[in-house]
């Protein structure tokens, strides 16, 4: 695929137009998720449990049934 040559002004105009566009819905959902206190608390708990049980001979942690999808 051939690359198009752009001047600095054209590139700056392209960046400005992209920056002015609203972010995609998926990015907004991800940002909202990352700012949620419950999501942050859950990720911290998972990270701590992983560090506690990784590389040891301790009993494996079982996933709670409400997190598992139905098999049927």
Residue with tokens 């949620």: 36
CA distance 28 to 23: 7
Q: Is residue 38 part of a domain?
A: yes
Model confidence pLDDT, tens digit, residues 42-70: 988 988 888 877 766 666 667 777 766 66
Q: Is residue 13 part of a domain?
A: no
Q: Is residue 2 part of a domain?
A: no
Q: Is residue 60 part of a domain?
A: no
CA distance 39 to 45: 10
Per the structure, the complete domain to which residue 28 belongs is given by: 23-50
**pTM exceeding 0.85:** no
Domain count, the chain: 1
Model confidence pLDDT, tens digit, residues 24-42: 898 888 888 888 899 889 9
Q: Is residue 34 part of a domain?
A: yes
The C-alpha angle 35, 45, 41, rounded to 5 degrees, equals 25
């Amino acid at each position: 695929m051939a690359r198009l040559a752009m001047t600095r002004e054209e590139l700056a105009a392209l960046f400005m137009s992209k920056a002015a566009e609203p972010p995609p819905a998926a990015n907004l959902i991800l940002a909202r998720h990352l700012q949620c206190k419950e999501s942050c608390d859950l990720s911290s708990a998972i990270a701590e449990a992983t560090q506690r049980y990784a590389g040891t001979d301790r009993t494996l942690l079982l996933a709670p049934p409400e997190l598992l999808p139905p098999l049927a």
